[in-house]
C-alpha cells in the first residue's frame, strides 16, 4: 500500500478500518444468532418455568462490542509496526521463491502415523469409556490411575513440545 503512495497516517487508518470492518458484521450476526439460541436453550433446559431473558443484556452487548473491537485493533498493531518500520523499497528487494516438495507415497514411512493413531485411540478410549466407568462404579483406584496416566501423558507431551521433538 505504501508503494502506491499512501502516507503512514493513511496506511495506519486503512489497517485499523479493515480490522474494524471485519468485526462489525460478526457482532451483528452473533447477536442475531444469540436470540434464537437463548430462546431454544431457555425452553429446553428450564421448560419455560424460569424467567430467563431471551435477549442479551446491555452489559453483554457492551462487553461484546469492546472485546470485539479491542482484539482486532490489538492484533493489527503488529502489522502496523512492521509496515511503518520497513521502507518502501524493502518489498522491492526481496524475492520469495515458492518451495515445492514432492512426497512419493511408496517411500513414506507409516509407522509414525500408525503409532500416533494408536496412542490417540487409546487416549480416547480411556477418557471416554474407562473414566466414566470408574466414576460410576466408584472405583477410586482405577480413577486415580487413569488420572495419573493422563497427567504423565500431558507432562510428556508438553516436554516434547518444549524440546521440539
- Final residue belonging to a domain, choices 71, 92, 113: 92
For residues 105, 111, 116 and 121, what is the CA-based torsion angle, rounded to 10 degrees? 100
Do residue 79 and residue 133 come from a single domain? no
What predicted TM-score, i.e. pTM, was given to this entire model?
0.42
Instruction: Please report, in tens digits, the pLDDT of each residue of the chain (165 residues total).
Output: 445 566 777 777 787 888 888 888 888 888 888 888 888 877 777 776 666 677 778 898 888 888 888 888 888 877 777 767 665 555 555 566 788 877 776 777 788 889 989 988 988 888 888 889 999 999 999 999 999 988 998 898 899 888 885
Segments forming the whole domain that contains residue 149? 123-165
Measured CA distances, 42 to 31, 32, 35, 50, 96 (Å): 16, 16, 11, 8, 54
DSSP string, 112-140: HHHHHHHHHHHHHHIIIIIHHHHHHTT-H
Is 75 within the bounds of a domain? yes
Q: How many CA atoms lie within 13 A of 77 on its CB side?
A: 6
Spatial separation of the C-alpha atoms in residues 91 and 49, rounded to whole Å: 63
Q: Which three cell numbers stand for residue 153?
A: 501423558
- For residue 33 the three cell numbers come to 444468532
Co-location of 82 and 22 in the same domain: yes
Q: Identify the three-state secondary structure at position 80.
A: helix
Going by C-alpha positions, the residue among 34, 41, 36 that lies closest to residue 57 is: 34
Residue 97 DSSP class: P
Please say which residue of 77, 92, 107 terminates a domain.
Answer: 92
On whether residue 102 sits in a domain, the answer given is no
Q: How many folded domains does the chain comprise?
A: 2
Q: Do 6 and 84 belong to one domain?
A: yes
Q: How many CB atoms lie within 10 A of CB 41?
A: 13
Question: Has residue 44 been placed in a domain?
Answer: yes
- Residue 60 CA to chain centroid, in angstroms? 21
Amino acid at each position: 500500500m505504501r508503494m502506491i503512495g499512501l502516507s503512514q497516517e493513511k496506511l495506519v487508518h486503512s489497517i485499523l478500518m479493515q480490522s474494524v470492518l471485519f468485526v462489525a458484521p460478526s457482532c451483528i450476526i452473533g447477536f442475531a444468532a444469540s436470540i434464537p439460541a437463548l430462546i431454544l436453550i431457555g425452553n429446553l433446559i428450564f421448560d419455560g418455568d424460569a424467567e430467563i431473558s431471551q435477549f442479551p443484556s446491555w452489559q453483554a452487548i457492551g462487553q461484546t462490542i469492546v472485546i470485539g473491537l479491542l482484539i482486532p485493533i490489538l492484533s493489527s498493531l503488529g502489522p502496523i509496526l512492521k509496515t511503518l518500520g520497513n521502507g518502501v523499497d524493502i518489498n522491492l528487494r526481496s524475492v520469495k521463491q515458492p518451495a515445492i516438495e514432492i512426497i512419493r507415497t511408496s517411500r513414506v514411512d507409516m509407522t509414525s502415523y500408525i503409532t500416533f493413531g494408536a496412542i490417540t485411540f487409546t487416549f480416547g478410549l480411556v477418557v471416554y469409556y474407562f473414566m466414566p466407568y470408574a466414576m460410576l462404579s466408584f472405583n477410586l483406584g482405577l480413577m486415580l490411575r487413569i488420572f495419573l496416566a493422563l497427567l504423565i501423558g500431558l507432562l510428556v507431551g508438553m516436554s516434547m513440545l518444549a524440546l521440539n521433538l
